[in-house]
Amino acid sequence: MNEEDLKKLIEKYYNGLSTDEDEKALRAFFTVNDAPAGYETEKEIFRFYMEYADVPEPSADFEARIINAIGKSSGEKRSAKFRTLLVPVLSAAAGLLILAGSYFFFINRHETKDTFTDPQIAYAETMKILMDVSSQLNHGTSSLQPVGKINEMKVKSLESIKKSTVIIEKNLKSLGYLRNATEMKSASKE
C-alpha cells in the first residue's frame, strides 16, 4: 500500500467513514509492515485492536439479567415514591409533637413570686448572699498566695544579682586601670 492510499484510509477511519474492509486493510498493513514516518501512533492503535479484537459473545442469560436489573430499578422507584410520601407525614407528626410539647411547657410553667414582703429583709438576705460569695472568692484567691511569694523571691533575687553585678563592674574597672598602668610602665621601660 502506498502512502497516498494509506493517508486516505486513515482519514476515512478518523472521520468514521471507513468500511470493515478498509479497517481490515489498515490492521493488516500495520501488523505486517513497519509504519512509515509519522504513522507510529496509528500503528500502535491497530496493533492494540489486533491484540484485543476478540470480543466475547454475551452469555445466554444476558437478556434475563438486563430485564431483572430493569425490574429492580423500577422497584427502587416505588420505594422512592414511598419515601416522598413518608417524609411529609413524618414532618407533620414532628411538628405536632413540638406544638404539644411547647403547649405543656408554657401551661405548666410557674412564674416566680416575690418571697419577701418587707424590703429591709430582702436587702439583708441579699447582703448575706453577697458576703458569702465574696468569702468564697477570697478563699479561692488565698490559694494563690504561694505564687505571689515566688514572684517576690524572684524580684529579690534579681535585685541581689544586680547589686553583685555593680560590685563586679567596679572591681573590673579598677583592674582595668591597673592593667593600663602596668602596660604604660612596661612600654616606658622599653
Digit-by-digit pLDDT tens for the chain (190 residues) are 788 888 888 888 888 888 888 888 888 887 776 777 778 888 888 777 777 766 667 778 888 888 888 777 666 666 667 777 888 888 999 999 999 988 888 887 766 666 778 888 888 888 999 999 888 888 877 777 777 788 888 888 888 888 888 888 887 787 777 777 777 777 777 6
In a domain, 104, yes or no: no
In a domain, 78, yes or no: no
Q: Decide: helix, strand or coil at residue 117.
A: coil
- DSSP character at residue 58: P
pLDDT value at position 95? 93
The amino acid occupying position 102 is S
In a domain, 57, yes or no: no
Domain that holds residue 13: 3-51
Give the integer Cα–Cα distance in Å for 19 and 7: 15
In a domain, 122, yes or no: no
pLDDT value at position 74? 61
In a domain, 30, yes or no: yes
Q: Rounded to 5 degrees, what are φ and ψ at 17? A: -110, 5
Give the integer Cα–Cα distance in Å for 9 and 41: 15
Q: Which residue, among 25, 32, 27, 18, has the nearest Cα to 48 in the 3D structure? A: 27
How many structural domains compose the chain? 2
pLDDT value at position 79? 67
pLDDT value at position 150? 82
In a domain, 171, yes or no: yes
